[in-house]
Each structure stands twice: as structure tokens, then as C-alpha cells.
A and B are shown apart, each in its own frame.
Chain A
Amino acid sequence: GNSVTQMEGPVTLSEEAFLTINCTYTATGYPSLFWYVQYPGEGLQLLLKATKADDKGSNKGFEATYRKETTSFHLEKGSVQVSDSAVYFCALSDAGGTSYGKLTFGQGTILTVHP
């Protein structure tokens, strides 16, 4: 079945540091890949997505590239801010079969950014 594995957390950085959160996946077919973010006390929000190999999703300074050869979708940001402190989830949605668009999530990575 489908699965998503994220790097272990929590991750603690200083403001303006470079961020990488690793994500790898296992899926049948050709999944779409997502990063969701959950700020304290709020619901999940879509951060970015990529629907086919070599696509790059980007939003709010975050980027992730769909790498089919390495089955990865690592999240990066060049300079993090305190306001980026949140839990980040990598997820996939399988295009075929009976998945009907359901999301399979990784376990989440807690990011804390200090001033």
C-alpha cells in the first residue's frame, strides 16, 4: 500500500537559517504529492503541491520538487522565520485504483524557529 516517511523531528532552527525536511514515499501508480502545514491551534492548510515528476511546488518561500527517481519530495526554505514554527506533513494522493483522492500522510515534523 501507499506510505509516506518523513524525517524525525523536532527540528529547531534560528531565524534566517536554511530548512530542509525530508520526505520519501511508496506508492503504486503516479501519485500527487503535497506538503500541509498545521499552525498552533489551527487546522491543516495546504502549503504546496506537485502533480507529476519534476514538478516544483512553491508557496511562501517554501519549495519542494517531485523526484520520481528517488521517490522523494523534500521541503526547503532558504530563510525561515519565527512565524514558520508549525507542524509540517508530507502527503500523497494516488491517481489510480480505488483511492478516490484520499490522502496518505507522513507522521509530521515539528519545526520551531527561535529569534
Chain B
Amino acid sequence: EAGVAQSPRYKIIEKRQSVAFWCNPISGHATLYWYQQILGQGPKLLIQFQNNGVVDDSQLPKDRFSAERLKGVDSTLKIQPAKLEDSAVYLCASSLTQILAGGRNEQFFGPGTRLTVL
């Protein structure tokens, strides 16, 4: 079974530029998560989708970050314009469903995209 795919693996941009990250979850997984992992910290949830609907984007900086999951499969996370503090690894994860709350439904993580903003 193929895992969660992410691209690109690395990206370097200047501040105020735009960047987009792509995620392809495991086939059949209804729930998709984007996490931000700043160096030396644990991942922090940015946004969670159930199929193509957003169920939690409370920690997404909506003035510069946006995400979509068209057709309930692939997802794109965009930053426009980027700031220095956006330098981090952006992790995508997927799970079968969110319905089995309480962690009984395992999340599978992709390798991440390492973003450096200069």
C-alpha cells in the first residue's frame, strides 16, 4: 500500500513570495491533516479536512495561508506572502475517518516539505 505522498520535499523562497505544497493521501482515507513543524517543536495542526470539507482550521493563519481539498482526495496548502517565521516542515497526514474519535483511527504521515524562507 502506497503511503502519503508530498511534494516538493524541499523549497527555498524569499520572504513575500508565494509557495504551494501538495499532498496525496493514502487511497480511501477520508480525513486529511496539514501540520506545521517548526525546528525544535512538535507538529501543530493547521487544518483538517473530512472528505472535501474543512472541520478544523482554527490555527491556520488565514491572512496568508489557504488550503483546499478538491474532490476529497489530493490537497494543496498555499502560503502567500511568506514570512521568515513560516520556515518549517509542513507535514501531511491522512486517516481512514475522523469518526472513530479519540485516536482509535491511526494517522499516517508523509515525509514532509521543508520550507526555508530567506
Q: Which A residues contact B (CB, under 8 angstroms)? A: 4, 30-34, 36, 42-46, 49, 51, 89, 91-96, 98-108
Contact = CB atoms under 8 A, between A and B. Distances in A.
Main SS of chain B's interface residues?
A: loop
A91 B28 CA distance: 25
A44 B98 contact: no
B103 A93 contact: yes
Contact of A89 (B42, B55, B107): B42
Given A43-B111, A108-B42, A100 B106 contact: no
A46 B106 contact: yes
A95 B91 CA distance: 23
Given A100-B55, A108-B41, 18 more contacts: A31-B102, A32-B102, A43-B109, A43-B110, A44-B43, A44-B93, A46-B107, A89-B42, A96-B102, A98-B56, A99-B56, A99-B101, A100-B56, A100-B101, A101-B100, A101-B102, A102-B48, A105-B43
Contact of B42 (A4, A42, A51, A101): A4
Contacts of B48: 100, 102
A106 B103 contact: no
B24 interface: no
Contact of B98 (A92, A96, A100, A105): A100
A30 B43 CA distance: 21
Contact of B91 (A30, A43, A93, A99): A43
